[in-house]
Amino acid sequence: MLVGCEGFLDERPDKSIVVPGSIDDLNLMLDNSEVLNFVPSLGVFSSDDIYFPIEAYNSLTNAVERNAYTWQPEIYEGEFPGDWRSCYQIVYFANVVLEKALEFLENEPDNAEIKEIVASAKFFRGLGHYNAVSIFAGQYDPADVEELGIPLKLSQNVLERPVRSTLGESYEQILMDLEDAVSDLPDFSAIKTRPSKYAVYGLLSRIYHSMGNYEMSRFYADSVLTGPYSLMDYNMFNSSILYPFERYNSEVVFHASLVHSATFSRVTTLVDSAMLNKYEDGDLRKSLYFIDRPTGKSFRGQYSGMFRWFGGIALDEMYLNYAEASIRLGQVEEGIEALNELLDHRYMAGTFESYTTESIDDPMSLVVAERRKSLIHRGVNWLDLKRLNREGIYGRVLRRIVDGVEYELLPDDPRYVFPLPMEEVILNNMEQNPR
């Protein structure tokens, strides 16, 4: 009846809402660093990175944090499972972008921009799934890949209910997504929330390291060390500034934040004095990482230039991965050399004396200790705890005394695996982790 009727009804009801239909639309989604650039923070609350005096503990309003701190079997108390949610939101965004981009690719199979989008989406899907497996599944063990893994979500269809895969399958999928992503990503990205080749190498190094696959960890760490990044000389920084390190500084390979909590910025969120005592005189990490508070010292040395705690990939972690992997693989000298280079940038000028194979008898203990000191409050300590606990010698018993009650977490404790949120158990019939 009305000619041109179709065009009339094709007008979008709200200009601010689009059905993503262009490369730009997808890139805008990939730039959502408020969803995509996160790593879990539960491990920090359960690790010995953090310390709450009793008043601070009592004023924690978030039950999940309070319960994670004292390693309660059940942690959620009906509150929002922020970490789990973050992992699968990353996966969801990645899947939405990936499916659209693959559609585009059918028409333009050689479009490099679209291929980059596909690669970025795979990178983030890998990141999201790794975030989940690192917190909600047990330590990877090549001898026991049939252990419970995580649900792998590989489509954007929200109504499709995933089931828990095995630990082996989980890691396989994560590694496949990341290794797929490498070739189509740019070498370097100035906006470091966007993935690059080096970001993939860095993440792969972290993952392989946590799996105990030191050959691959060393290989990828080495790849990053050849990249356009450089260690910062901590002598150049001013500890009187609240956040001495800038966002996207020369060590940052890929930016991600720990899933944010208001607790991070509270003056009563401290670091245990036993931990602080591990930093020697002349170690600039002590003054740059920590700030004086009325009741102790708090961490503030994040590589984000702001209140968010950094959990992304940085060069110092790559040095440490390379060092540890080298030592484990018998290339002790190379390992110590990498460690020396890192520490030389961490100590007050002229105070650091390089280690040699002769001067130290247990290079493993040294590198493990330096990992703790450098990578505090990035979520890496939790990965190390899980990994090292398996080896007996480097594992440790975590202890807290809260309000006169002593809590203890033994190296083989099932509470190293966090429980799934109730919603997954109720709505998706997922098997709960024993705790």
Which one, 6 or 110, has the nearer CB to another protein?
Answer: 6
Q: How far is the CB of 271 from another protein (least distance, A)?
A: 16
Cα distances (Å, whole numbers) of residue 47 to 87, 179, 289, 303: 20, 30, 17, 20
Q: Which amino acid, 237?
A: F
Q: How far is the CB of 245 from another protein (least distance, A)?
A: 13
Which one, 362 or 423, has the nearer CB to another protein?
Answer: 423
Which one, 129 or 372, has the nearer CB to another protein?
Answer: 129
Q: How far is the CB of 289 from another protein (least distance, A)?
A: 15
SS3 label, residue 64: helix
Q: How far is the CB of 15 from another protein (least distance, A)?
A: 4
* C-alpha angle 321-324-327 in degrees, rounded to nearest 5: 140
Q: How far is the CB of 134 from another protein (least distance, A)?
A: 16
Q: How far is the CB of 277 from another protein (least distance, A)?
A: 23
Evaluate whether 309 touches 245 at the Cβ level (below 8 Å): no
State the DSSP string of 352-398.
-----TTT-S-HHHHHHHHHHHHSTTTTHHHHHHHHHHTTSSS---E
Burial of 194 (0-12, 13-18, 19+ CB in 10 A): buried
Question: How far apart (Å, rounded) are the C-alpha atoms in residues 129 and 175?
Answer: 10
Which one, 151 or 202, has the nearer CB to another protein?
Answer: 151
Which one, 393 or 426, has the nearer CB to another protein?
Answer: 426
Which one, 151 or 363, has the nearer CB to another protein?
Answer: 151
Q: Which amino acid, 339?
A: L
Contacts for 21 with CB less than 8 Å, ≥ 6 apart: none
